[in-house]
């Protein structure tokens, strides 16, 4: 009888341990995936963006886009690979060896002129900027050679770094007017 009671008690303890372990595994799997996996860092339906009004932020991001477009022209694959956002590279299967065939490069030198810029705050130190602008041939600056250019820049203000997500702009996002 004691032996039977001991077996039942051990079985109950084992079941409780299995249930607790299962709950821990389920909770850890849910929190393991960081917000921002994928192309737009947050689901576009819930991303709240505001128009960029800070001049310093605006020109910092324009400078990042200028750097990126320069390397699109010179086709320096190592630098372009490093500039691309890590989640974008993973999603698109981009490696250093195929970066030039995975993104659109430029054949001439262009001057970038930003037309619209919005920002979404991703964390205390990281912001994502959605930029729309015009590329104009640098040598001529004629309007005939203008190309619309869309890009997203993730700016890490704590580490003074940035990354690029090509051809991304705001769509179906809630724009907060200030």
Q: Give the pLDDT confidence of 115-146 residue by residue, as tens digits.
A: 999 999 888 899 999 999 988 887 765 556 78
What pLDDT does 35 receive? 27
pLDDT confidence tier of residue 3, bands split at 50, 70 and 90: confident
Number of domains in the chain: 2
Kindly tell me the sign of the dihedral angle through the C-alpha atoms of 161, 167, 171, 175.
Answer: positive
Percent of the chain residues past pLDDT 90, beyond the cut: 30
Query: Containing H/E element for 76?
Result: none
Query: Whole domain around residue 7: which residue ranges?
Result: 1-32
Q: Are residues 55 and 15 in the same domain?
A: no
Among 114, 119, 125, residue whose Cα is nearest residue 173? 119
Q: Are residues 62 and 22 in the same domain?
A: no
What pLDDT does 164 receive? 92
- The answer for 149, left when phi > 0, alpha when psi is -120 to 50, beta otherwise, is beta
pTM above 0.85, yes or no: no
Relative to beta strand 147-156, strand 110-121 is unpaired
**Degrees, nearest 5: CA angle 72-62-66:** 25
- Please give the structure tokens belonging to residue 33: 């995936």
What pLDDT does 11 receive? 79
47, pLDDT greater than 90: no
Q: Are residues 11 and 86 in the same domain?
A: no
In a domain, residue 138? The reply is yes
What pLDDT does 34 receive? 32
Q: Diameter of the chain by CA atoms?
A: 97
Q: Are residues 130 and 52 in the same domain?
A: yes
* CATH code: domain of residue 172: 3.10.450.540
163, pLDDT greater than 90: yes
In a domain, residue 37? The reply is no
Q: Are residues 105 and 172 in the same domain?
A: yes
What pLDDT does 41 receive? 41
């Amino acid at each position: 009888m004691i032996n039977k009671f001991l077996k039942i008690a051990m079985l109950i303890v084992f079941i409780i341990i299995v249930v607790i372990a299962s709950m821990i595994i389920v909770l850890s799997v849910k929190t393991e995936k960081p917000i921002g996996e994928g192309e737009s860092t947050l689901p576009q339906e819930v991303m709240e963006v505001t128009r960029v009004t800070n001049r310093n932020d605006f020109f910092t991001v324009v400078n990042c886009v200028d750097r990126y477009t320069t390397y699109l022209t010179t086709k320096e694959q190592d630098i372009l690979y490093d500039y691309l956002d890590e989640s974008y590279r993973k999603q698109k299967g981009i490696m250093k060896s195929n970066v030039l065939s995975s993104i659109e490069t430029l054949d001439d030198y262009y001057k970038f002129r930003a037309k619209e810029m919005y920002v979404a705050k991703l964390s205390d130190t990281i912001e994502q900027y959605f930029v729309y602008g015009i590329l104009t041939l640098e040598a001529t600056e004629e309007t005939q050679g203008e190309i619309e250019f869309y890009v997203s820049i993730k700016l890490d203000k704590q580490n003074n770094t940035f990354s690029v997500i090509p051809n991304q702009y705001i769509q179906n996002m809630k724009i907060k007017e200030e």
